[in-house]
């Protein structure tokens, strides 16, 4: 059932057994709404104040896992609504909180239906009022002006949208370059409803123009492109707390942005000099960034000196890019409490010399003089390691590294956990580190 069909739904005819809900535990309405919210939660799609959930959400670069989670959540919502008339009414705000536009033609239909039902309803009660996220998920080759205008009409009839996204849009058309749509997004942000922007298909110049008018923005996810030098004045985002830069965000000039409230910086690509991607010059001045994710090589080569980020309490390293390091410097920081390692598989990817350097580095993390505040370490194990029989180590690695390292962690009361596969990572699901999975075959 599509979103437009949901708009046509009226309370179904319930049997006498279900109409009164007499067999259902009596709880205050507020508690039932909390239960429904938990049951229908899709990790990361609506979060504003939880940077770790947003980071996990962004790890699903193709949106495949999220697509399945959204489908399961919608089935749950419909099942809840089929129990009784009271639950049907309670679940309605959850049914309409997320609009996914699958094509230009779909945008036209959704815009028209929202206008129709909103005209029939009242200002305080219509489905558009419940919409929190509008997402373009189209693969159309071409969007004409009429279809782009339909997106403006959808936003006109959804005054409480807090998230706008085309992060998983596959259309080659630059839908977000439509000037009326950019103005409407800026207007929604100025009114205080739009707080999170996920950008992929639009041009860097369109993004620049938009960000100059979005001072209330709190979360920014960039899938492709970023901030250029098209404007003389800097972009001021005083409320921005989270930035996520995807692997195709290849022209990023953070020095053109003022964001004094930034707490979380997640970078899914290398920021080496040849990438024209600069994260150092601005953020290290204020020293307020509390969480960071970056490529391990960028830290190892000192391109990102962490000592300048003196407020960090959690740090994620991505080992996804192959390297042959002859030396790895010691990681030292006074405040870091949590370390996470993604794509860490030494025996599969690195030479013995590099592995020896990594082993020395990993044991160095447990030196209390280097990281006095460290209390937990997590490993994000990719799905490909599980599905292709790969592992984090061999029997020799177990004897030479894993068992001694785990004992050293235990002696310092450092918790070690792991998240297995992208579904667990997107869902924020962690389990205690299991040595059996280290030798998985």
What is the DSSP track for 299-352? Answer: HHTTSS-GGG-TT--EEEEE--S----S--PPP--SS--EEEEES--HHHHS-H
The structure's pTM equals: 0.84
Q: Is 178 helix (H, G, I), strand (E, B) or coil?
A: coil
Q: Token pair for residue 81? A: 């609504």
- CA 422 to the chain's CA centroid: 12
CA distance 95 to 91: 6
Q: What does the pLDDT read at residue 414?
A: 95
In tens, the pLDDT along 312-351 reads 999 998 887 555 566 677 888 999 999 999 877 655 556 7
Q: What does the pLDDT read at residue 368?
A: 92
Residue carrying structure tokens 């977000």? 176
Domain boundaries, given as residue ranges, for the chain: 313-441
Q: What does the pLDDT read at residue 66?
A: 86
CA distance 73 to 39: 8
In tens, the pLDDT along 52-82 reads 889 888 888 778 888 889 999 999 999 998 8
Cβ atoms of residues 313 and 337 within 8 Å: yes
Cβ atoms of residues 357 and 331 within 8 Å: no
Q: 27-53 in b/e burial notation, b at 16+ Cβ within 10 A? A: eeeeebeeebeeebbbbbbbbeebbbb
CA distance 274 to 143: 34
DSSP bridge pairs for 338: 314, 376
DSSP bridge pairs for 163: 133, 196
Q: Token pair for residue 429? A: 């699901």
Residues of the chain with pLDDT under 50: 1, 9, 15-20, 22, 229, 272-277, 281-282, 284-285, 387-389, 395, 441
DSSP bridge pairs for 278: 253
Q: How many CB atoms lie within 10 A of CB 258?
A: 16
Q: Provide the strand spans (E) within 105-152.
A: 133-136
Contacts of 160 (CB under 8 A, 6+ apart): 129, 130, 131, 132, 193
Residue carrying structure tokens 């194990």? 381
Query: How many residues belong to the chain?
Result: 441
User: Which helix H or strand E contains 95, and what residues bound it?
Assistant: helix 85-95
CA distance 66 to 14: 32
Q: Provide the strand spans (E) within 127-263.
A: 133-136, 163-165, 196-199, 219-224, 235-236, 242-248, 257-258
First to last CA, the chain: 41
CA distance 299 to 111: 47
CA distance 121 to 102: 26
Burial of 268 (0-12, 13-18, 19+ CB in 10 A): buried
Residue in 313, 271, 273 with CA at minimum distance from that of residue 296:
271
Q: How far is CA 56 from CA 300, 366, 432, in A?
A: 24, 26, 18
Q: Token pair for residue 122? A: 């009242």
């Amino acid at each position: 059932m599509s979103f437009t069909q949901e708009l046509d739904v009226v309370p179904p005819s319930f049997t006498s057994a279900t109409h009164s809900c007499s067999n259902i535990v009596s709880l205050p309405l507020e508690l039932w709404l909390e239960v429904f919210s938990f049951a229908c939660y899709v990790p990361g799609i609506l979060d504003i104040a939880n940077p770790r959930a947003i980071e996990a959400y962004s790890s699903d670069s193709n949106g495949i896992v999220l697509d399945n989670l959204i489908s399961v959540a919608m089935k749950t919502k419909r099942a809840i609504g089929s129990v009784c008339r009271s639950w049907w009414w309670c679940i309605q705000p959850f049914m309409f909180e997320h609009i996914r536009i699958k094509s230009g033609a779909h945008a036209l239909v959704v815009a028209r239906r929202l206008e129709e039902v909103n005209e029939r309803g009242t200002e305080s009660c219509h489905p558009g009022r419940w919409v929190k996220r509008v997402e373009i998920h189209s693969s159309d080759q071409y969007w004409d002006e009429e279809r782009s205008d339909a997106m403006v009409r959808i936003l006109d009839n959804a005054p409480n949208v807090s998230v706008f996204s085309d992060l998983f849009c596959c259309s080659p058309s630059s839908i977000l370059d439509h000037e009326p749509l950019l103005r409407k997004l800026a207007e929604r942000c100025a009114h205080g409803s739009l707080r999170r922007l996920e950008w992929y298909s639009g041009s860097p110049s369109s993004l620049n123009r938009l960000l100059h008018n979005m001072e209330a923005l709190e979360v920014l996810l960039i899938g492709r492109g970023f901030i250029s030098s098209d404007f003389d004045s800097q972009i001021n985002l005083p409320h921005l707390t989270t930035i996520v830069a995807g692997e195709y965000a290849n022209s990023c000039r953070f020095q053109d942005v003022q964001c004094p409230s930034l707490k979380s910086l997640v970078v899914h690509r290398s920021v080496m000099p040849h990438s024209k991607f600069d994260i150092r010059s601005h953020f290290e001045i204020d020293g307020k960034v509390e969480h960071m994710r970056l490529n391990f090589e960028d830290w190892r080569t000192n391109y990102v000196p962490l000592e300048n980020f003196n407020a960090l309490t959690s740090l994620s390293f991505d080992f996804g890019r192959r390297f042959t390091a002859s030396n790895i410097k010691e990681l030292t920081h006074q405040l870091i409490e949590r370390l996470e390692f993604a794509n860490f598989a030494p025996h599969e990817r690195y030479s013995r010399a590099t592995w020896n350097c990594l082993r020395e580095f990993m044991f160095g993390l447990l030196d209390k003089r280097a990281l006095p505040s460290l209390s937990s370490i997590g490993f994000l194990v990719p799905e490909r390691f599980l599905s292709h029989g790969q592992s984090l180590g061999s029997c020799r690695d177990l004897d030479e590294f894993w068992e001694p390292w785990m004992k050293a962690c235990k002696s310092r009361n450092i918790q070690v956990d792991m998240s297995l596969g992208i579904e667990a990572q997107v869902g924020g699901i962690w389990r205690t580190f299991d040595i059996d999975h280290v030798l998985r075959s």
